Amino acid sequence: MRKKFSLQDVSMNKIIGVLFAIISSAFLIGGIILFIASGETNDDNKEEQLQTTSIATADTVKQLSTVSAETEVTTQEVTTFAEETTEYESISENQTEPSEIPQELQTLLNMGNCNSDTLDAVNTNQLIVVNSGGTTANISFYEKTNEKWAKDENLTCTGFVGSEGTVKYMSEQVSGTPKGFYSIGSAFYQYNAPYTGLNTFKITNDTYWVDDPDSKFYNQRVEGVADKDWKSAEHMMSIPNYKYGFVINYNTPAEYNKGSAIFFHIGSNPTNGCVAASENMVLAYLAKLNAGENPYILII
C-alpha cells in the first residue's frame, strides 16, 4: 500500500526551512556587526569581507529558495496524493456488490449465455425466462429486491414458442422464436385495457404490424394505411390471440429480413415465432410487469 503523506509532514518541513533561514540570517547579521565594529580593518580587508558577506548572502538566498522549492514540491505531492486518494475513495463508494442470484436462475442464465453482469448492465429488476423444449416452454419470472433476485412461483407456467422451436438465426421465412435477451416493450389489448405497469396501446381496425422487409415501417406498428408502402403486414385486430399481450423488443431497430412482430400473447398452440401462454397467465404477467423496473425477457 502506498504510504500517505500528511499535512504534519509538510508543516515540519516548513519549520525546518524557517529555522535554517533564521540561523543563516543570524550569522550574516553577526558578520556585518563585526565588520562595522572593527575600526582597524584596512580597505583591502574591508573589500574582502564585503565580498565574503555578499557570497554568504547569495548562499543564504539560494538556500532559502531551495527550501521554498522543496516545500512547494512536497506540498504539490501531498495535494496530488490527496486528490488521487479522494478519487479512489469516490470510485470505491460508487461500486456496488454483484447481485445475489439463486442457483436455478444462474443455471438458466448460463444456458442463455448471460450472467449477473448482463442483468446489472441493463439495470433490470424484472426478468421473464422462457426455457423451451421443442415447441413448448417453461416460463418463469424473477424479480430483484435489495440486490437479491427471487423467483415468483405464482408466475411459473407452461407455454408455447414457434412451430420450429427457438432459433438462433431468424428471418421472415422461419417460424421459430428468436433466442436471446430482449427488453420488454408496450402492452396491447383489443377491447378492455388490462391492469399493468407497462405502457399500453389499444388495437383498432386501423392497427397493423408491418412484416415486409422492404418497407420503411418494417417491424413497426402503424395506424391506418395513409402512408402504406408495404406488401405484407399483420392486421392485429384480426388475430384473436392478440386480445392481450406485450411486445418483445426483438430486431429493434429493424435489420432487413431478421424477423418481426415477436410478441408474448395468449395462445394454446405453437406460434409463428411468438411466445404464448394462457389468458390468465398473460394477464398475471401484465399485472406484475412495470416499465419503471426496466423488464427483460430471456428466451433459451
- Answer whether residue 175 shows pLDDT above 60: yes
The answer to whether residues 20 and 67 touch, using CB atoms and an 8 Å cutoff, is yes
Confidence class for position 239, pLDDT limits 50, 70, 90 = very high
Question: Residue 97 pLDDT > 80, yes or no?
Answer: no
- Model confidence band, residue 7 (pLDDT cutoffs 50, 70, 90): very low
Residue 182 has pLDDT above 90, yes or no: yes
Report the percentage of the chain scoring pLDDT > 90: 67
Average pLDDT on 123-128 reads 98
pLDDT value for 29: 60
- List of residues 6+ apart from 146 with CB closer than 8 A: none
Confidence of residue 21 (pLDDT cuts 50, 70, 90): low
What per-residue confidence (pLDDT) applies to 26?
58
Mean pLDDT of 73-99: 49
CA distances from 50 to 40, 43, 44, 60, 64 (A): 15, 10, 10, 15, 21
Res. 238: pLDDT tops 80: yes
Nearest residue to 278 (alpha-carbon basis) of 233, 248, 241, 251: 241
Separation CA 19–CA 29 (nearest Å):
15
Mean pLDDT, the chain, integer: 82
What average pLDDT does the segment 288-299 reach? 98
221-223 vs 207-210, strand pairing mode: antiparallel
| Amino acid (1-letter code) at residue 226 | A
pLDDT value of position 139: 98
Q: Is the pLDDT of residue 36 over 60?
A: no
Q: What are phi and psi of 298, to 5 degrees?
A: -110, 120
Between 153 and 32, whose confidence is greater? 153
pLDDT band at 16 (very low <50, low <70, confident <90, very high): low
User: What pLDDT shows up at residue 99?
Assistant: 76
